[in-house]
A and B are shown apart, each in its own frame.
Chain A
Amino acid sequence: GDSVTQTEGLVTLTEGLPVMLNCTYQTIYSNPFLFWYVQHLNESPRLLLKSFTDNKRTEHQGFHATLHKSSSSFHLQKSSAQLSDSALYYCALMNNNAGAKLTFGGGTRLTVRP
């Protein structure tokens, strides 16, 4: 079945340093949708980025990611971390060949310190 693997557990950064959260996936479906969701404390997950197109950079709120089907990756990046970026980040894959099954990775908690 489908699976999504993210940077393990907890990432701690100093404000102003670059952010890179890794996401790789496995699916036999050739046209997956990939998403990044962000979840702040006591809130529900909210869409950050999405992509369907191979090798096309997508950007939102200072974050960017590029879907690379050749390496099955969709890494999340930001040039300069802010304190407000502290949150739980999820990478997810949608498989439209399986009734739009939406599979999430295990999540990465990003903590940005001053």
Chain B
Amino acid sequence: EAAVTQSPRNKVTVTGGNVTLSCRQTNSHNYMYWYRQDTGHGLRLIHYSYGAGNLQIGDVPDGYKATRTTQEDFFLLLELASPSQTSLYFCASSDAGTENTEVFFGKGTRLTVV
């Protein structure tokens, strides 16, 4: 069964702190995505990738870095966390490019910056 696993599920950090959110997929998908979800804004794309070593800039990239170390693993880095980055973060993976394209989401990481 398709799986996208995010860790941690909850994280509290202080302003200026350093945070890494992890995502691993076992779907053999080439594409992976990081989104943040905020009331009134929906799901906004931060960064995405179509393979190990590749990184594409999303729509709200400021304050975020990302790295795709393997086909399975995609990390989101907040090097100087700010309260505005308090949000629910979702990772997703996709086998884009085929007629049977599927996109699967992880369960989310709730980040609070105090």
Residues of A at under 8 Å CB distance from B? Answer: 1, 33, 35, 43-47, 50, 52, 90, 92, 94, 96, 98-107
A110 to chain B, nearest CB (A): 14
Bound: A63/B96 CA distance, A: 23
Interfacial chain B residues near A52, Cβ < 8 Å:
99, 101
Q: Number of contacting residues on B, CB 8 A? A: 28
B75 within 8 A of A: no
Question: Please, could you name 26 A-B residue pairs with CB atoms under 8 Å apart, sorted by A?
Answer: A1-B59, A35-B103, A44-B105, A44-B106, A45-B90, A45-B105, A46-B105, A52-B101, A90-B43, A92-B43, A96-B96, A99-B31, A99-B48, A99-B50, A100-B94, A100-B97, A101-B45, A101-B48, A101-B56, A102-B33, A102-B48, A104-B42, A105-B42, A106-B40, A106-B42, A107-B42
Residues of B at under 8 Å CB distance from A? Answer: 31, 33, 35, 40-45, 48, 50, 54, 56, 58-59, 90, 92, 94, 96-97, 99, 101-103, 105-108
Q: Which 9 residue pairs of A and B lie closest in terms of their CB atoms, listed nearest first?
A: A100-B96, A107-B42, A104-B43, A106-B42, A44-B105, A100-B31, A99-B50, A99-B56, A45-B105
